[in-house]
Amino acid sequence: MINFTILNMSLHVQYIRIIMERKPIVAGITHGDINGIGYEVIIKALTEPAIMDLCVPVVYGSPKVAAYHRKVLNIANFSFNNIRSVEEAHPRKANLVNCLGDEVRVELGKSTPEGGHSSLAALEAATADLMKHKIDVLITGPIDKHNIQSDKFHFTGHTDYLKSKLSAPDVLMFMLCESMKIGFANDHIPLKDVAGAITIPVLMHKLKLMNRSLLQDFAIRGPRIAVLSLNPHAGDNGLLGMEEKDIIIPAIAKANEEGIFAFGPYSSDGFFGSGAFTRFDAVLAMYHDQGLGAFKVIAFDTGVNFTAGLPVIRTSPVHGTAFDIAGRNEASGNSMRQAIYTACDIFRNREMYDELMRNPLQTQKIEIHPDHVDELPPEPENYDHAL
C-alpha cells in the first residue's frame, strides 16, 4: 500500500465562502495639497468605470476646492456626491466628505500654509475613520512635506505620520509596479547617514517585514528577495568598503537560516541594467535613491507606494504635488488609479490570508492500492505557487 499526503478539499470551500461573504471595500482617498495635481489625478482615476465595481470611493477634501479644480481643468462629465460622513457614501458614486471651511483659498502651483493646513485636515479625518474601521483602505494624495509641518505634523511624510499614529513598531516603504517590488532599508535620511544606519538587525527586520508582506499582502508562496549592495561592485571584496562583508552578507545568511529566501548582495547598476530584477519577487535597496531611480524609470506614471508593516492598508501614487503643471490638465491619473486598485487587491489578499491562518488546511493520509495509482489526479506544475 502507498501513503499519500494531500491538501484537504476545504480549501475550495473556504475560498468560495470568502467570495460569497465579501462586502464592498470602502476606499478613503485624501486630496493632498490643494494647490497641486491631487484633485486632477483623483478625478481622472475615478472616471474609470471599473473603480466603482471594485470599491466605494470616499474622498476627504472640499467641495469648493473640487469645484474649482473641475472648472480650471474644464472637466464637465464628472461630479462628486457630497456627503457629511462616510456612513452616507453612495456605493456607485464618487463620494466627497468636506474637511475644510468655506474660506479655503486655492493658489495653483504655489506652496502655501493654506495648502499644508488643508492637506493635514484631510489626512487627520481619513486616518480617524480608518482607525474606527469606517473605511477599509487609505490612499493618500501627494502633499508638500514642507508646508504641512506644524505642531501637529512633524514627520518626513505620510509613512512616519501613520507609523506614529498607529503605533507601528516599524514599517517598510515598498514601491510596486507590474515588473518590480522594491523596499528600502533606509528611506528619507541624508546620504551621509546611510552607512551608519545599516546594521544586521536593521536588515533582518526589513527582510522579515518584506517577506511577511509578500506572503500576506501579495499571496506569493516562497518569495525570493534580492538584496542590493551598498558600495560599488558589492564592495569589491572589501577594497571599496567593508559593509558587504561585515553586515549585508551576514544578514543574508541569517535570513536564510530563518527560512527567508534572500540572495545577494548585488551591485545595483548591473542588477538593474541586466534585467536581473525580473527573476526575483522583491528587492531590498540600501537607500532611497538607489532603488527609486531605477523604479521611476520603469514606472513613473504607474507605480504605487505601499507602506508595509502597518496594521492597516495605505497606498499612494509615486509622484509628488507637481506644482509646475498644476491646473494644466497634463497630469496622468494612472498612478492614483493603480494605488486604488493595489489597496483593494491587498485588502482582499489579507482577507484570504487571515481566513486561511484561522482555519489552516488539515492534511490527511489515504491509502491507495498500487492498482489504483492511475486514478489519482495529476499534480499541478510548480506546486508551491499553485495556490
For 8, 137, 362, the CA distances from 5, given in Å and listed in that order, are 9, 39, 10
**What percentage of the chain has pLDDT greater than the value 70?**
87
Calculate mean pLDDT across residues 29-43. 98
Q: Give pLDDT, residue 197.
A: 92
Residue 183 cell numbers, joined: 523596499
Q: Helix, strand, or coil here: 304?
A: strand
Domain pair 1-168+310-387 / 177-299, same fold: yes
Q: Give pLDDT, residue 362.
A: 54
CA angle 335/174/205 to nearest 5° reads 170
Q: b/e for 2-16, b at 16 or more Cβ within 10 A?
A: eeeeeeeeeeeebee
- Whether residue 186 contacts residue 218, with contact meaning beta carbons closer than 8 Å, is answered with no
For 163, 201, 210, 305, 373, the CA distances from 183, given in Å and listed in that order, are 16, 16, 7, 10, 46
Q: Give pLDDT, residue 51.
A: 94
pLDDT, one tens digit per residue, over 210-231 is 999 999 999 999 999 999 999 9
Calculate mean pLDDT across residues 129-134. 97
- Whether residue 45 contacts residue 333, with contact meaning beta carbons closer than 8 Å, is answered with yes
pLDDT confidence bin for 374, thresholds 50/70/90 = very low
Q: Give pLDDT, residue 316.
A: 97
Please state, in angstroms and rounded to a whole number, the distance separating the CA atoms of residues 224 and 360: 23
Q: Which segment of 2-11, 31-40, 124-133, 322-331 scores lowest on mean pLDDT?
A: 2-11
Calculate mean pLDDT across residues 292-305. 90
For every residue of 2-24, DSSP letters joined together read EEEEEE-THHHHHHHHHHHT---
Query: What mean pLDDT is reported for the chain?
Result: 87
pTM: 0.84
Q: Give pLDDT, residue 360.
A: 59
Structural domain boundaries in the chain? 1-168+310-387, 177-299
Q: Give pLDDT, residue 368.
A: 40
pLDDT, one tens digit per residue, over 56-88 is 999 999 999 999 999 999 998 899 999 999 999
φ and ψ at 81, to 5 degrees?
Answer: -95, 105
Superfamily per CATH, domain 177-299 = Isopropylmalate Dehydrogenase (3.40.718.10)
Please state, in angstroms and rounded to a whole number, the distance separating the CA atoms of residues 51 and 258: 40
* Topology adopted by domain 1-168+310-387: Isopropylmalate Dehydrogenase (3.40.718)
pLDDT confidence bin for 354, thresholds 50/70/90 = confident
Side-chain half-sphere exposure of 263, counting CA atoms within 13 A: 13
